[in-house]
Amino acid sequence: MIIAVDFDGTLVEHRYPAIGKEIPYAFESLKILQQKGHKLILWTYRTGDMLKEAIDYCKNKGIEFWAVNENYPGENKTDIKSRKINADVYIDDRNIGGLIPWTEILHILHPEDYDLDSLYEKNVKRHVFKRFLSRFR
């Protein structure tokens, strides 16, 4: 799938134009989604230096996006007919109901992975995630 992900309020707390604290499990979840073969697009209001700061922040967290504010890498900006990104899924804090926890997002996108704690093992304390998983068993 192609997954468009917002930055402010979705990957980090909303402190625009500053960069807020990391949202729990956001980057661990994105890494798992990339490992599963999904293409991630950073879809954000940020431009210029503020966009570069966001891209660099994500890169330092181990995430490099397939595309940034475009439908595919190297898209010809003169051909764009809409500001909306063409994606299968949009993850954004501004949707109805707000941002659900990243662990739930991952479970929704991959319900077949009942042993998600093994995917988070390297980045998340096991006891916290096991407590979360107990709701689904």
Confidence of residue 45 (pLDDT cuts 50, 70, 90): very high
Domain boundaries, the chain: 2-100
Report whether pLDDT(94) > 60.
yes
Q: Residue 127's pLDDT is what?
A: 42
- Digit-coded pLDDT (tens) for 2-33: 999 999 999 999 999 999 999 999 999 999 99
Distance CA 70, CA 113 (A): 30
CB 13 within 8 A of CB 23: yes
- Digit-coded pLDDT (tens) for 118-132: 655 555 544 444 445
- Digit-coded pLDDT (tens) for 57-90: 999 999 999 999 998 888 877 766 677 888 999 9
pTM: 0.79
User: 2-100 — its CATH code?
Assistant: 3.40.50.1000
- For 25: left if phi > 0, alpha if psi spans -120 to 50, otherwise beta; the answer is left
Distance CA 107, CA 102 (A): 9
Greater model confidence, 7 or 136: 7
Q: Which of 12-21, 47-56, 96-105, 127-136 has the lowest mean pLDDT?
A: 127-136
Distance CA 75, CA 134 (A): 43
Q: Residue 15's pLDDT is what?
A: 93
